A and B are shown apart, each in its own frame.
Chain A
């Protein structure tokens, strides 16, 4: 269970990216986060694993206060939270397998990982995860030789290496074409349903929300403006979330 309580983030310079946001996510839920660009979706997701320090508020995960965790505790918490990014954020010049193994960095002994030594089980596991997303044969290629869709699959494999209990996906399909988008979303759905991993996924397209999400929340200028089932987003709600002038596409 993830509980967000009165979360507020004010950036240096006074921009209020999150404004008193509170909601809860049950375990095994697929939660879509929607809203315009700049509405605070990315900030929200990054506050949950404290890549961004929240200004105020509390984040409780399985009863543990993430916002109050020390550096060492944060390392233990982060390794249970996988993250998938819009721009994949792979290390281009490293091999695919190295990128995937990076998902184990929170588990392995730092001293050994610094000289690129991973336990044998981890390497085998990395190959297994790559098989799961269907690109095991690319394991020893450089990451930047892969296409966009393949790179995102590597990103998912990296998150899976963490044995995550929750995955934060920050617009995972926004830089992919629609066909690839569905394939990536299917992997996330599969992880959510089969492995029982909680997924928080920010999305742009409503049809993706309808198709994959159990529940949706919407942000507008940092405020939570909607919390409910995807089907409840009718034209009225839509205009509330995206503004008066918005029109539905797709």
Chain B
């Protein structure tokens, strides 16, 4: 014990060695990252650095209209061979004019150029115009002229190496600002793009949040851990998904065809959109009575209710299709008639298009989910009521079929992606392996045991979220640019997907940290799982959800400013273009816009966060 207090030589040696090791690592880091200040000292670097910084300091936002006074003065370079000294031209002394001495010189000589009668306090380039054409737009040289209060200037100018027998010219272009300053083209472009950027972030955040919320519930351990079902119920509900998706997709497609054949004139659309919700409301209120009677309803009544529910859902999808058609029709019309508010029509049109595209998917998922939960309940019931031996056989059959189906579908997915073309590997082996593992699972679990399916779903979801979250939005954008083309839509999709996966994780951690008291209180009233979530979980997670959404909104605004670098739209595209064109004043305007927007959004979201919590 005492030895520990004394500094043993071994211990000091160890500390020394660790310090040495750290130094070596750092030294290697210098080598790898090529730390080199020599480069900074080189004059050409410094000159361009200064130039860029000065350009950045003058963002290209405001400019004046300018008027120019352009005067050409002939000059001979070199002097004519006959030795004659050309006289200056006749010049109108009431107008701005130039004088040069001498009037001819050899290339490389310095001549003195004087200007008279220009507007006072103006400046502009003083250039050598090669060739004998005074209107030639090619000019040489770097000199600048600046007039004094009398509109007079004197500049020493070095003649370039452009000898010619013909007359050449010296041109002074003096510019002065007139009128009030106004926004440059760059500023207008920047404004357009920054608006695009903000809306990219907005859309990505809104859609990302909407999809992240349901995901976050199945990625929360405390909600999923108690979810246990007997094998029969699990198998049936797993089988219900693919069957339901196919049936639902076909049913909704059929409804879509029906809706299209009924007609797409606006009046039919309006009538359908108004009537179908009424029908649905009637159907629902009959089929779903507000209070459950204590006695179970008769079979006939139940079947009738189910029938009415299915009809109501079909009517609902019909209504959705008609709504989409209405939005597309009226949107197209409005876009033409509204003029500068045409974007409302565009919005309606696109919204209708989105609804029309999403509806079949929605229907497929809804029917899949419903069928899965109905079959799951049937499985649950039969597990409770059937004798163990019969149940065992049922379990074995169902689990085998389910395992084969799941792995078979996965195999087909692999086949589709990698095009292996060998059904042996992508169909038969997965089918038999899946069937066998289902069979074994059913064989070795007790027939009535409730299996922790919730945790299985939890782990699958978590893995999926973590995997996708590790892919940066910038990388996703590259994929989406290929899928939907260069532009802000690709950026929205990339940011949206990244928002979904990262928010789902953050949200689910909040769900995991809620107070359990209300949960058990609501469960004790006889509420089912979904009711418990809505009444005990949701109210508790609203504040953290809002705060995380704001946080994500901040991130999305920042990300959307650079996602244009890979073609994802927004201001990044403009910024990158200007940097590549060495137009640093333009780039500076865009950087300024980004800074302003990010700071403003930061401020707004912090204010909102304070308000809501």
- Chain A interface (Cβ within 8 Å of chain B)? 46, 49, 51, 70-71, 74-79, 81-83, 85, 87-94, 98, 102-114, 116-119, 155, 158, 161-162, 168
Contacts and interface: CB of A to CB of B under 8 A. Distances in A.
Given A78-B526, A114-B531, A109 B521 contact: no
Contact of A158 (B288, B520, B521, B526): B521
Given A110-B531, A114-B531, A76 B526 contact: yes
Nearest to A80: B526
B289 interface: yes
Nearest to B520: A51
Contacts of B535: 91, 94, 98, 102, 105, 113
B536 interface: yes
B380 A102 contact: no
Contact of B526 (A79, A94, A109, A118): A79
A93 B525 contact: no
A107 B289 CA distance: 11
22 contacts: A51-B524, A70-B381, A74-B526, A75-B526, A76-B294, A78-B525, A83-B524, A89-B521, A91-B535, A91-B539, A92-B518, A94-B539, A102-B521, A102-B525, A102-B536, A104-B525, A106-B527, A107-B292, A109-B289, A110-B530, A116-B534, A162-B526
Interface in B275-300: 284, 288-292, 294
B517 interface: yes
Q: Is the interface of B mostly helix, strand, loop or mixed?
A: helix
Given A87-B517, A158-B521, 9 more contacts: A76-B294, A82-B525, A89-B518, A91-B535, A102-B535, A107-B291, A110-B528, A114-B530, A114-B534
B406 interface: no
A93 B521 contact: no
B263 interface: no
Given A91-B535, A93-B542, A51 B523 contact: yes
Interface string B375-387: 0000011001000
Interface of B: 284, 288-292, 294, 380-381, 384, 517-518, 520-528, 530-531, 534-536, 539-540, 542-543
A87 B525 CA distance: 16
Contacts of A168: 524
A106 B526 contact: yes
Contact of A81 (B284, B384, B524, B540): B524
Given A105-B535, A117-B290, A91 B540 contact: yes
Contact of B520 (A89, A93, A109): A89
Nearest to A112: B290
Nearest to A81: B524
A79 B522 CA distance: 10
Given A70-B380, A112-B290, A103 B525 contact: yes
B540 A93 contact: yes
B33 to A, nearest CB: 50
Contacts of B521: 83, 85, 89-90, 102, 155, 158
B539 A162 contact: no
Contacts of B518: 89-92
B531 A49 contact: no
- Listed from nearest, the 3 A-B pairs whose CB atoms lie closest are A106-B526, A79-B526, A89-B517
B290 A119 contact: yes
Nearest to A94: B539
Given A109-B288, A113-B531, A78 B524 contact: yes
A105 B522 contact: yes
A231 to B, nearest CB: 32
Nearest to B384: A70
A89 B543 CA distance: 19
Contacts of B520: 46, 51, 85, 89
B527 A105 contact: yes
Contacts of A89: 517-518, 520-521
Contacts of A81: 524
Contacts of A75: 526-528
A15 to B, nearest CB: 18
Contact of B531 (A46, A51, A94, A105): A105
B286 to A, nearest CB: 12
A162 B525 contact: yes
> Which of B288, B527, B543: most chain A Cβ within 10 A?
B527
A40 B547 CA distance: 40
A242 to B, nearest CB: 27
Contacts of A46: 520
A109 B290 contact: yes
Contacts of B542: 93
B291 A109 contact: yes
Contacts of B527: 75, 102, 105-106
Nearest to A70: B384
Contacts of B384: 70
B241 to A, nearest CB: 21
B543 A93 contact: yes
A71 B380 contact: yes
A83 B525 CA distance: 8
B447 to A, nearest CB: 15
B15 to A, nearest CB: 43
Contacts of B294: 76
Nearest to B294: A76
Contacts of A77: 526
A161 B524 CA distance: 12
A105 B518 CA distance: 14
Given A76-B526, A102-B522, A111 B288 contact: yes
Nearest to B514: A91
A71 B228 CA distance: 11
A83 B518 CA distance: 12
Nearest to A161: B525
A117 B527 CA distance: 15
Nearest to B381: A70
A156 B482 CA distance: 61
> Which of B381, B535, B543: most chain A Cβ within 10 A?
B535
Nearest to B385: A70
Contacts of A92: 518, 539-540
A117 B521 CA distance: 20
A12 to B, nearest CB: 12
A119 B292 CA distance: 11
Contacts of B381: 70
B133 to A, nearest CB: 80
Contacts of B539: 91-94
Contacts of B523: 51, 78
Contacts of A106: 525-527
B534 A113 contact: yes
A98 B542 CA distance: 16
B532 to A, nearest CB: 8
